[in-house]
Amino acid sequence: MRNAYLVLTLVVASCLSTMVVPANQNPEDAAQRVAESWIRLVDSGKYAESWDEAAQLFKEKVTKPQWESAVRSVRTPLGKVDSRKLRSANYTKTLPGAPDGEYVVIQYETSFEKKKSATETITPMKNKDAQWRVSGYFIK
C-alpha cells in the first residue's frame, strides 16, 4: 500500500510539474504569443499602439512619430498580409548592437498583397518588468 501511495504521489507531482514548468522554461512560446499580438496591431495600421506595446529599449531608440512614419512607409506599399507562417523562434541572451538580456528572434515567411515573398523578423525581449515585449521588427 505504501508503494502505491508513493507511485501516486510521484505521478501527481510529475503531472503538476508538466503543467507549470514548461511556461517558465519555454521563452519561445511566451515571446511568440506577444509577437503575434503585436504584429496584429501593425497589420491593422495601429502603429501608435504597437509603439505603446513595445519594449522600453525599442522606445529609447525610436520616438512614436518616427516609428509611425517608418512603419507606414514600409508596410503601406506591401498591402495587406495574405499569409504568415512561422519559420523559426530562437532564444538568445546576446544580439549584435543590443545589451545582453533575454531575446527570442522570431522569423515568419510572409506573403503580402503586393510582395508575395518576404521574411519578417520580430524580436521580443524580456523587459525589466519581466514581461515579453517587442524590441525589433524588420522586413526583408
| Structure confidence by residue, pLDDT tens digits, 9-18 | 233 333 333 3
What is the per-residue pLDDT across 75-110, written as a single tens digit (0 to 9) for each?
Answer: 999 999 999 999 999 999 999 989 999 999 999 999
What percent of the chain shows pLDDT beyond 70? Answer: 82
Q: What is the pTM of this model?
A: 0.80
Please provide the size of the chain in residues: 140
As a dihedral over the C-alpha atoms of residue 70, residue 76, residue 80, residue 82, rounded to 10 degrees, the angle is -70
46 band by pLDDT with thresholds 50, 70 and 90: very high
Residue 12 Cα distances to 9, 15, 24, 138, angstroms: 5, 5, 19, 45
Domains in the chain and their CATH numbers?
Answer: 26-139 (3.10.450.100)
Owner of C-alpha cell 504569443: 33
